[in-house]
Structure 1
Amino acid sequence: MKNSHVRDVRAIDILIIKGEMDLQETLLNWKQDCHVRDYFEHPTKIQEPTDFLGKFLTQKH
């Protein structure tokens, strides 16, 4: 879904080739389990604070 906006034929061909290479590497067990798990685990979105104190406490130094 992240590449659904691509309309250039050359870019689509490259994405297809990369996908096939990725599948082949997975089938041949060249990828570790942690690499395969990345496809199925979605990071949770942390809700950003909207009040002053919450923004102040979460700012990075």
Structure 2
Amino acid sequence: MTQDVYLQQLFISKLIIIFGVIGPIVYVFLMIDLAGFTPYQVTKVLMCKVLEGYG
């Protein structure tokens, strides 16, 4: 395995990870936006849920 091929595979795997993490988040925010909620409202709700979970 040459250095170039290795770097290329590393780059591709990084891209997959980045899209795997960011993709769903962007998707959720788009769905929320279409539903008429602002990201601020959603963040507030999520924070309440998290605090309830720890409370």
Per the TM superposition, whether the score is higher than 0.5 is no
Structure-2-length-normalised TM-score: 0.42
Higher relative CO (CA 8 A, sep ≥ 6), structure 1 or 2? 2
Between structure 1 and structure 2, the one with the greater Rg is 1
